[in-house]
Amino acid sequence: MDMEKRIKALRQALREHNYNYYVLDSPTISDFEFDMKLKELQELEAQHPEFYDANSPTIRVGGGVTKNFETVVHEHRMYSLDNSYSKDDLEDWEKRIQRNLGPVPVAYTCELKYDGASISITYEKGKLLRAVTRGDGVQGDDVTTNVKTIKSVPLQLKGNFPDRFDIRGEIVLPFDGFVKMNQERAANGEEPYMNPRNTASGSLKLQDSAIVAKRPLECLLYSIVGKDTGIGTQYEMLEKAREWGFKVPTVAKLCHSTEEVMAFVEHWDTARHELPYETDGVVVKVNNLQQQEELGFTSKAPRWAMAYKFKAEQVSTILQKISYQVGRTGAITPVANLAPVLLAGTTVKRASLHNADQIAKLDIREGDTVFVEKGGEIIPKIVGVDMAKRPPHSRPTVYIDHCPECGAPLERTEGDAKHYCPNEYGCPPQITGRIQHFISRRAMDIEGLGGETVVLLFKEGLIQDYADLYDLTKEQVLPLERMADKSAENLINGIAASVAVPFERVLFALGIRFVGETVAKKLAKAYKNIDALANATVEELEAVDEIGERIAHSVIAFFGNEKNRLAIRRLKEKGLQFSLSEDDLAQQTDLLKGQTVVVSGVFETLGRDELKKCIEDNGGKVGSSISAKTTYLVAGDKMGPSKRTKAEKLGVPIISEHDFLKLVGR
């Protein structure tokens, strides 16, 4: 078949499947089939750069890096919304509208107010041209590269659309995706993100779009602006946007009276708790666009729209006890144990107290009646104390100064809000937490062994650290609670099988603070075996791509500890992988050591990612932009002219793909 046709057909098919999956939530093929098609397209595109398309579905996996987000002036200003907090406010507003417009019927579209990051996306001839943040409303940041990775944002429209228009919406992070991201962060020993909204807007400003592509962001749209769009009402606008392939929430309702608007508000004030993402109110808009035009704008907001803000649901209950949890890294988290109370549809028994400062600031004490709120965060929080109800002999909370689990004196470093238990190797939750991390799916992935069994094994005195796992025998584990013959066997076999897990995952499993999966990969690649890594200096570590001072010091401290060195020695004896495999090594050289290579454009022989991997495999560093430090610029087809000019100005040699491949002997 004609290659161009084949590529175009694949793109069209992938676009349609993408739409079915992410906009309609009803896929018609399996994820596997989808991946296969995507892979085929990626390969064909790599072989045929002449058919490059900036809006191909392959763009969604990301890879583009933005160093500085360019400022763009909005063609149509992005206004704010006026807020109302009571039904009286809302009724007053509707009366003002009616006075302004005279005795004509006025209908309203009610929508939910999504809490995320606002975005304006320009489409030209059906193709996504540019995506810009709201900024100050007059100008924002160009975040096109990142927005293109959001799967529910169409890169190419369907149906009968205007030639050019802007569409506005909100980029949100659904709760379940947010929870998953935080679980991963916790597994890497990192602080969790505060709430979905900040995480969504933070994501738009990440430099590496491949990371954005991995985040489960969604884009919900609600407004079209442009000349001659042929649209007459707000409600029609939503329908049209949906037709063109945008994800437009279906909860919007056309209301013909104030009563209907109120009913919508009341319904969603409780029903919103069932939604997959955060909403903080309702937006009521005059439906007729001509009436909207008549009403116009104030200096900051349209007169034809009004946000009704939900009150964050709040209840009061008794704080029975403050307890303290110790995490895998030794971080102490104070927890409020509450008299059970119903809040936003669920029974709440516990709330986060964050840290000592927070408790002191609000003067929270055991026995107090406290106000509990559920906001953008998933875990409810205490926002204040009902002082009138404070028991007569109550005393201020004295924050613990010893670990509740092991009794060690707690430490707190300057500028850190949290207290830590320093007894890394003697504190039970830190010991079991480390072993649980070691066996987890992304680390050693030990089948037949779960987190609870780890705690049991520890309590029975059978394991003290992860190296002990490899000494366990079936006879030892059989007497454990709920352990049958078969499960004991599976456990032992699972442990034995894990000796084949590759080096980079072993390195991640060791639980070196701040060494998550990606960092473990980088270190494995740079040092090739554990001894070389263990002997590295801070300066050498920092020379590795993406390794900063914080990680470098953590690595040094880890290997400086006799206990860790002993555990590694024992694991080595058991046959775990502490160096890259022959296969991996065969592709590695030092040919590009100390060199920074920038790639730009479209390539013939290798895909972009392969090319980058090739640079790293040969000891080089992939640069994201050209500077005086750049050793070479590998220029492909369709390279940006500004890159070329910059390279020429700085005297950076520009080489072709073939030159580069020769350089690394391929």
Binding site for Zn ion (CB under 5 A): 403, 405-406, 408, 421, 423, 427
User: Angle of helix 175-187 relative to helix 196-204, nearest 10 degrees?
Assistant: 80
In the complex with Zn ion, which residue's Cβ is closer, 196 or 330? Answer: 330
- Could you count the other beta carbons within 10 Å of the beta carbon of residue 29? 14
Q: Which does 423 bind (CB under 5 to 8 A by kind): Zn ion, ligand AMP, none?
A: Zn ion
Q: Which does 421 bind (CB under 5 to 8 A by kind): ligand AMP, Zn ion, none?
A: Zn ion
Tell how far CA 579 is from the center of its chain.
31
Which DSSP letter does residue 233 get? Answer: B
Residues with Cβ within 8 Å of 192's Cβ and at least 6 positions away in sequence, in order, are: 182, 185, 186
**Using an 8 Å Cβ cutoff, are 505 and 443 in contact?**
yes
In the complex with ligand AMP, which residue's Cβ is closer, 263 or 534? Answer: 263
Binding-site ranges for ligand AMP (CB under 6 A): 80-81, 111, 113-114, 118, 134, 170, 222, 283, 307
Rounded to the nearest whole angstrom, what is the least distance from the CB of residue 415 to ligand AMP in the complex?
31
In the complex with ligand AMP, which residue's Cβ is closer, 79 or 193? Answer: 79
Structure tokens at 591: 């040919």
Rounded to the nearest whole angstrom, what is the least distance from the CB of residue 291 to ligand AMP in the complex?
17
Three-state secondary-structure class, residue 27: coil
Opening angle at CA 346, ends 343 and 347, nearest 5: 80
Q: Which does 80 bind (CB under 5 to 8 A by kind): ligand AMP, Zn ion, none?
A: ligand AMP
Q: Which does 313 bind (CB under 5 to 8 A by kind): ligand AMP, Zn ion, none?
A: none
Q: Which does 222 bind (CB under 5 to 8 A by kind): ligand AMP, Zn ion, none?
A: ligand AMP
For 6, the enclosing helix (H) or strand (E) is: helix 3-22
Rounded to the nearest whole angstrom, what is the least distance from the CB of residue 503 to Zn ion in the complex?
31
- Could you count the other beta carbons within 10 Å of the beta carbon of residue 345? 12
In the complex with ligand AMP, which residue's Cβ is closer, 240 or 643? Answer: 240
Opening angle at CA 596, ends 202 and 533, nearest 5: 80
- For residue 531, CA distances in Å to 484, 513, 534, 542, 572 come to 40, 18, 5, 17, 11
User: Closest-CB residue for ligand AMP?
Assistant: 118
The widest CA-to-CA distance across the chain, in whole angstroms, is: 88
Rounded to the nearest whole angstrom, what is the least distance from the CB of residue 620 to ligand AMP in the complex?
43
Which DSSP letter does residue 410 get? Answer: P
Active site residues: 113
Rounded to the nearest whole angstrom, what is the least distance from the CB of residue 307 to Zn ion in the complex?
48
Q: Which does 113 bind (CB under 5 to 8 A by kind): ligand AMP, Zn ion, none?
A: ligand AMP
In the complex with ligand AMP, which residue's Cβ is closer, 81 or 173? Answer: 81
Structure tokens at 582: 């022959």
In the complex with Zn ion, which residue's Cβ is closer, 119 or 431? Answer: 431
Rounded to the nearest whole angstrom, what is the least distance from the CB of residue 430 to Zn ion in the complex?
6
For β-strands 369-373 and 381-385, DSSP reports them as: antiparallel
- Could you count the other beta carbons within 10 Å of the beta carbon of residue 98? 14
